[in-house]
Amino acid sequence: MGGRAEDKIEGVKSAVMPSRSDSQTSDTEMDQEKDIAVVGIGCNFPGGEGLDNFWKVLLEGRNCVVPIPRERFDMGPWYDADENKPGKSRTFKAALIEGFNEFDHRLFGISDSEVEQMDPQQKQLLQCVYRALENAGLPLEKASGTRTGVFFGLMNRDYETNASHVHPSVINHWTGTGLAMSIAANRVSYIFNFTGPSLTIDSACSSSLVALHLACQAIRQGDCEMAVCGGVSVILEPRVFVALSKAKMISPDGSSKPFSNKANGYGRGEGCGVVLLKPLKKALEDHDYIWGIISKTAVNQDGHSVSPITKPSMSQQEQLLRQIYTATDLVNVQYIEAHGTGTPIGDPTEARSISNIIAKSRPHHIDTLCIGSVKSNIGHTESAAGVAGLIKVLLMMKHKTIVPSVFYSEETASVDAKALNIKVPKEVEKWEPKGNKVAGINNFGFGGTNAHAIVKDYKQTGITPKNNQVSLYALFRHWGVKPDAILGHSVVFR
Residue 484 placed within a domain? no
Banded model confidence at residue 33, pLDDT cuts 50, 70, 90: confident
Q: What is the arithmetic mean of pLDDT over 85-100?
A: 97
**From CA 175, how far away is CA 269, in angstroms rounded?**
26
Residue 43 placed within a domain? yes
Neighbours of 46 (CB within 10 A): 25
Banded model confidence at residue 169, pLDDT cuts 50, 70, 90: confident
Percent of all residues in the chain with a pLDDT value above 70, rounded to a whole number: 87
**From CA 316, how far away is CA 206, in angstroms rounded?**
14
Q: What is the arithmetic mean of pLDDT over 15-27?
A: 43
**From CA 418, how far away is CA 247, in angstroms rounded?**
32
3-state SS of the chain is: CCCCCCCCCCCCCCCCCCCCCCCCCCHHHHHHHHCEEEEEEEEEECCEECHHHHHHHHHCCCCCEEECCCCCCCCHHHECCCCCCCCCECCCEEECCCCCCCCCHHHHCCCHHHHCCCCHHHHHHHHHHHHHHHHHCCCHHHHCCCCEEEEEECCCCHHHHHHCCCCHHHCCCCHHHHHCHHHHHHHHHHHHCCCCCEEEECECECHHHHHHHHHHHHHHHCCCCEEEEEEEECCCCCHHHHHHHHCCCECCCCCCCCCECCCCCECEECEEEEEEEEEHHHHHHCCCCCCEEEEEEEEEECCCCCCCCCCCCHHHHHHHHHHHCCHHHHHHCCEEECCCCCCCCHHHHHHHHHHHHCHHHCCCCCCCEEEECCHHHHCECHHHHHHHHHHHHHHHHHHCEECCCCCCCHHHECCCHHHHCEECCCCCEECCCCCCCEEEEEEECCCCEEEEEEEECCCCCCCCCCCCCCCHHHHHHHCCCCHHHHCCCCCCCC
| pLDDT value at residue 158 | 95
**From CA 273, how far away is CA 294, in angstroms rounded?**
16
pLDDT over 60 at 106, yes or no: yes
**From CA 376, how far away is CA 408, in angstroms rounded?**
9
- What lies within 8 Å, CB to CB, of 152 at 6+ separation is 125, 184, 185, 188, 199, 200, 201, 207, 208, 211, 229, 230, 231, 232, 274
Residue 477 placed within a domain? no
Domain range for 262 is 27-461
Phi-psi region of 190 (alpha: psi -120 to 50; beta: other; left: phi over 0): alpha
CATH of the domain at 136: 3.40.47.10
Range of lowest pLDDT (19-33, 214-228, 359-373): 19-33
Residue 20 placed within a domain? no
| pLDDT value at residue 49 | 96
| 23-31, long-range: CB < 8 A, 24+ apart | 31/280, 31/295
Range of lowest pLDDT (263-267, 413-417, 487-491): 487-491
Residue 468 placed within a domain? no
Buried b (16+ CB within 10 A) or exposed e, 267-276: bbbbbbbbbb
pLDDT over 70 at 8, yes or no: no
| pLDDT value at residue 2 | 46
Residue 299 placed within a domain? yes
For the chain, what is the domain count? 1
Neighbours of 374 (CB within 10 A): 31
| pLDDT value at residue 464 | 67
Reported pTM: 0.90
What digits encode the pLDDT tens for the residues 277-307? Answer: 999 999 999 999 999 999 999 999 999 999 9
Mean pLDDT of the chain: 90
Residue 58 placed within a domain? yes
Q: What is the arithmetic mean of pLDDT over 473-492?
A: 49
| pLDDT value at residue 248 | 94
| pLDDT value at residue 4 | 40
| pLDDT value at residue 471 | 57
What digits encode the pLDDT tens for the residues 437-458? Answer: 999 999 999 999 999 999 999 9
**From CA 164, how far away is CA 160, in angstroms rounded?**
6
Percent of all residues in the chain with a pLDDT value above 90, rounded to a whole number: 81
**From CA 134, how far away is CA 466, in angstroms rounded?**
8
Residue 473 placed within a domain? no
